[in-house]
């Protein structure tokens, strides 16, 4: 294993860094065993600093390394070029822009310190270039096997408010933007558990339309059932506070807290797909939800905390059960 040893004498470049106010002097001893270089600075009377720090640049065969000065303690560099032909050392004070303090060289190393000073500029620049933070992790949506699958809309549709999307696609009196939502039934959320209302007569005593009878014969894609409860839904969304606890499960939805239950509308491509009632899960579902209620976890990290949710088709009013999904 080869052994090399060289020494260079440091000469002051800038005044003001000696403890006694005189000229700064010293030497740097370099020993290379194999490919490992050990540098030992011997600097006399260097002034201590409170703000900033001293560093040493070492040059050999076209390669420069920057080391933080630790008094006169030896500094090691692994896999450093040979110093047989000579080396150079530059002492620098770092606080903002690097300030050269003393420089020395031997052999064929550069006679001017400017070549080594550029190494400090590059090192400081790398420290300031902070890499951008990684993107936030994409947490999985809670697994709700009993809930009907809702196809999320495209990005362009997501950016538009639900009411604007719906009114754009169903531009009539029954589902115009100003008359879009419906919700709690006369302030009593329990009324939603009663299922589709009897459509044999209208409020004004007139006969119901043909498509408002048996849910099996109501045409799909017409929002027939949604229209029958639209006014009450709108009143509920106006009177009750907004609730976002189920938004993590159904991003394309809107909910309000109506007394002891949540009332919600789930959308597909901005159009109502399901009308829902949800209550926090505390053991078994309430009696009125046992037949049609589905358990929906509120978090992807828990299978115990969640809601019992009843889904009704916005078209027909049919309950959506596990087998339907």
3-state DSSP call for residue 289? helix
What pTM did the predictor assign? 0.40
In whole angstroms, give the CA distance from residue 25 to residue 101: 10
108, two tokens: 């064929």
Same domain, residue pair 163 and 86: no
Q: Is residue 321 part of a domain?
A: no
In whole angstroms, give the CA distance from residue 155 to residue 92: 55
Indicate the number of domains in the chain.
2
Q: Is residue 48 part of a domain?
A: yes
Q: Is residue 75 part of a domain?
A: yes
Phi, psi for 255 (deg, rounded to 5): -140, 150
pLDDT tens for the chain, 325 residues long, are: 789 999 999 999 988 888 888 888 899 999 999 999 999 999 888 888 888 889 999 999 989 998 888 888 999 998 999 999 999 999 999 888 889 999 999 999 999 988 888 877 665 555 555 566 666 555 454 445 555 655 544 443 443 344 344 444 433 333 333 332 333 333 333 344 334 334 333 333 333 343 444 444 445 557 888 888 888 888 889 999 999 989 888 889 999 998 889 999 999 888 889 999 999 998 888 888 888 888 888 877 777 789 999 999 988 888 886 544 4
Same domain, residue pair 104 and 180: no
- Domain extent for 268: 155-313
Q: Is residue 183 part of a domain?
A: yes
Q: What CATH number is attached to the domain comprising 76?
A: 2.60.40
Q: Is residue 142 part of a domain?
A: no
Q: Is residue 23 part of a domain?
A: yes
3-state DSSP call for residue 303? strand
Same domain, residue pair 21 and 111: yes
Same domain, residue pair 74 and 193: no
């Amino acid at each position: 294993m080869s052994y090399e040893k060289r020494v260079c004498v440091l000469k002051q470049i800038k005044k003001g860094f000696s403890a006694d106010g005189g000229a700064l002097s010293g030497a740097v001893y370099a020993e290379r065993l194999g490919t490992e270089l050990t540098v030992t600075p011997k600097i006399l009377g260097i002034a201590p600093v409170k703000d900033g720090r001293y560093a040493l640049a070492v040059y050999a065969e076209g390669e420069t390394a920057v080391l933080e000065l630790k008094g006169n303690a030896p500094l090691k560099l692994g896999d450093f070029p040979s110093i047989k032909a000579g080396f150079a050392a530059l002492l620098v004070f770092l606080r903002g822009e690097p300030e050269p303090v003393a420089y020395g060289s031997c052999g064929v190393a550069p006679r001017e310190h400017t070549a080594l000073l550029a190494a400090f500029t590059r090192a400081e620049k790398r420290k300031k270039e902070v890499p951008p933070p990684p993107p936030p992790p994409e947490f999985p949506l809670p697994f709700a096997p009993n809930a009907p699958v809702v196809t999320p809309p495209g990005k362009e549709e997501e950016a538009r408010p639900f009411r604007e999307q719906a009114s754009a696609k169903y531009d009539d009196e029954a589902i115009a933007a100003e008359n879009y939502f419906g919700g709690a039934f006369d302030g009593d959320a329990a009324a939603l558990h009663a299922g589709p209302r009897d459509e044999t007569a209208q409020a004004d005593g007139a006969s119901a339309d043909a498509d408002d009878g048996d849910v099996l014969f109501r045409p799909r894609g017409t929002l027939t059932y949604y229209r029958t409860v639209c006014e009450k839904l709108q009143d509920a969304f106006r009177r009750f506070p907004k609730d976002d606890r189920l938004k993590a499960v159904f991003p394309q939805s809107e909910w309000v807290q109506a007394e002891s239950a949540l009332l919600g509308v789930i959308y597909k491509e901005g159009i109502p797909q399901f009308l829902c009632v949800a209550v926090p899960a505390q053991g078994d579902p309430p009696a009125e939800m046992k037949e049609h209620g589905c358990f929906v976890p509120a978090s992807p990290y828990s299978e115990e905390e969640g809601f019992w949710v009843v889904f009704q088709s916005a078209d027909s009013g049919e309950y959506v059960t596990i087998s339907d999904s």
